[in-house]
Structure 1
Amino acid sequence: MINVHDVRAAASLIGARVRRTPVLRVSPSMWLKLEHTQHAGSFKTRGMVNRILAAGTVPGAGIIAASGGNAGLAAAHAARELGIAATVFVPLTAPAVKVAKLGKLGARVTQVGNEYAEAYAAAVTEAEASGALFCHAYDDPNMVAGNGTIGLELLDQIPGGFDTVLVAVGGGGLLGGMIAALSPAVKIVAVEPVTSSALHAALEAGEPVDVPVSGVAADSLGARRVGQIGFELARAAGVPSVLVDDQAIIEARRGLWDDYRLAVEHGTAAAFAALTSGAYTPADGERVVVLVCGANTNPADLA
């Protein structure tokens, strides 16, 4: 299992290749970590850069990733910056805005199936055939450690301390990184859509299990099965998983725009929805950070 030492090593490795994203204090006891301002529009750039650099030499065939969109964008950005080729497999249901951006970043894009799981299977087959470095979107120790560098930044940016971090969960790569970086000193709370709740189901079953995937946040949180790394870290840390429905996510996304002019994905808004819907109610005086983790969305419906 990865730990804070792995996260610190990742921070040293990725260095200036990722952005130190800002924190917005919205009340005396709540902050928003604006990770949606990261290169390629999401936290996944941290993990992807760490995954590639930690691998050492990259094959001539470059890298291959499967994604609902954000991991692919991170892979494409990292590959462009490092001067290597990237192939990204995404489902046919991936948002057009993400597919278009993949092309702009120079990746070769292949659309397969209607869910991330189908794109993933095709990507693994292609990586085996081509010899390319496969970069898992979330269930890889270097990806998880890279994502955890957000936690180290928070410790520096909020010197007075904080008690809790709310994290939207799909495959568990961001959650795992935050646990490794901050637990047990800080409470980590997982937030999932009711319609895409792989971690919640795994914690109930005692092991990762397949779940149906649907809903407004499925493009970024629609993992059919939570990653083993995120699951093991969450179980060991006793992380609670709270569920939010689509309407709560939609309203939270609108609220982030109306109140703070933050244009984010539905998956990103899930973490904030835990507060606005009452799915998670902080105790008196509890100091809470909400990770605003991705901005790859079409903002037309926010106008």
Structure 2
Amino acid sequence: MHFDPGVSDIRAAYERISGHIRRTPVIEVDAADFGFAGQQLTLKLELLQHSGSFKARGAFTHLLGAEVPAVGVTAASGGNHGAAVAYAAGKLGVPAKIFVPSVAAQSKIDRIRATGADLVIAGDRYADALAASQEHVAKSGALPIHAYDQPATLLGQATVGLEFEEQAPEVDTILVAVGGGGLIGGMASWYRGRKKLIAIEPASAPTYAEALKAGQPVDTDVGGIAVDSLGARRIGSLMFPLASQYVAASVLVADEAIREAQKLLWKQLRIVAEPGGATALAALISGAYKPEAGERVGLLVCGGNPMVEPSF
């Protein structure tokens, strides 16, 4: 399937969902606050989106643009996508059945259950949950909402780029955490090379990096501390051509750097980010990505559903 939406398609999707999502804030932060030299960083706080991640954009794009059967919708997810689909379905009065693997964070499981969606734990990895959800679709006729490899998903995630460019047009380079690639694929379809997009992945889950080596999406061994959000075994087939054309580089970061980025986001900004949400920052604090002199760097804090929610 080919996916290459134009600016007008993305704007139309944004207009359709704008009454259901948050326009998440952008803040300026001194790079010195994170322990390295450089000018200010521009952070888009997409973890403040409904359900705790950018995924709500794709979920609403699906539900508002499709004819939903009476049996409702289904999704497989490491947690964030499932929470987003469950949230959107609940708001629109649609039944939802969500499949998650055993590695899903308890905070995400709790979030899904709180919406009233039917939740099923299936297998140990995202691929296992996906297989179970596909079996459910075959038996029930439910509408499947893929976490990253359907046009409506990427179209919704592209609205992050639309928003970010309106809020911070001066940014030259944007660092984006990558799991299945729906977010960076959508953003690539919006920017189309106008900004330098950098794909950041955990070294323990190098799905996009391995696809680049092979020249096509391939199955990859995944693990590590961000596996619940960035643990897709195979990069999306729809995003891969877009990323190959419009993503400037692929960078891997260690789990230790991700954990340190989480700590710094809390220490300096009082932001509780999950590992996947801190992965883009990890590339900067570890030196895995080194900005050029004068380069204006932006990054997404894309998820705020850690394994265990803070207790207050």
Tell me, yes or no, whether TM beats 0.5: yes
Query: Distance between the aligned counterparts of 2:308 and 2:265, measured in 1?
Result: 12
TM superposition shift of 1:47: 0.7
For 1:14, the equivalent position in structure 2 comes to 17
Structure 2 CA distance for partners of 1:302 and 1:30, relative to 1, 3 Å? farther
2:279 to 270, 292, 301: 270
For 1:48, the equivalent position in structure 2 comes to 59
Query: Distance between the aligned counterparts of 2:311 and 2:9, measured in 1?
Result: 39
TM superposition shift of 1:39: 0.4
Alignment of 1:125-140 (within 5 A): 125-140=135-150
Query: Distance between the aligned counterparts of 2:144 and 2:308, measured in 1?
Result: 31
Between stretches 286-295 and 147-156, larger displacement belongs to 147-156
For 1:29, the equivalent position in structure 2 comes to 40
Query: Distance between the aligned counterparts of 1:300 and 1:44, measured in 2?
Result: 19
Query: Distance between the aligned counterparts of 2:109 and 2:212, measured in 1?
Result: 33
Alignment of 1:66-215 (within 5 A): 66-159=76-169, 161-215=170-224
Q: Which residue identity lines up with residue 295 of structure 1 in the other structure?
A: G
Query: Distance between the aligned counterparts of 1:31 and 1:302, measured in 2?
Result: 29
TM superposition shift of 1:5: 2.9
| Alignment gaps of 5+ in structure 2 | 31-38
Q: May I ask how many residue pairs the two structures share in their alignment?
A: 301
| Alignment gaps of 5+ in structure 1 | none
Contact in 2 for aligned 1:65/1:72 (Cα 8 Å): yes
Q: Which residue identity lines up with residue 148 of structure 2 in the other structure?
A: Y
Query: Distance between the aligned counterparts of 2:8 and 2:225, measured in 1?
Result: 36
Structure 2 CA distance for partners of 1:288 and 1:302, relative to 1, 3 Å? farther
TM superposition shift of 1:299: 5.5
TM superposition shift of 1:148: 1.0
The alignment's C-alpha RMSD in Å is 1.5
Query: Distance between the aligned counterparts of 1:9 and 1:33, measured in 2?
Result: 22
TM superposition shift of 1:6: 2.5
Structure 1 stretches of 4+ moved >3 Å = 298-303
2:299 to 287, 290, 296: 290
TM-score, with length taken from structure 1: 0.96
TM superposition shift of 1:275: 0.4
Alignment of 1:221-240 (within 5 A): 221-240=230-249
Q: Which residue identity lines up with residue 65 of structure 1 in the other structure?
A: A
1:198-234 C-alpha deviation (Å, 9 max, x unpaired)? 1100011000000101100000000000001121111
Query: Distance between the aligned counterparts of 1:215 and 1:282, measured in 2?
Result: 26
TM superposition shift of 1:2: 2.2
TM superposition shift of 1:101: 1.2
Contact in 2 for aligned 1:171/1:226 (Cα 8 Å): yes
TM-score, with length taken from structure 2: 0.93
Query: Distance between the aligned counterparts of 2:189 and 2:297, measured in 1?
Result: 18
1:80-135 C-alpha deviation (Å, 9 max, x unpaired)? 11110000000012111111111101110000100000000000110111011000
1:61-93 C-alpha deviation (Å, 9 max, x unpaired)? 100000000000000000011110000000012
Structure 2 CA distance for partners of 1:298 and 1:92, relative to 1, 3 Å? closer
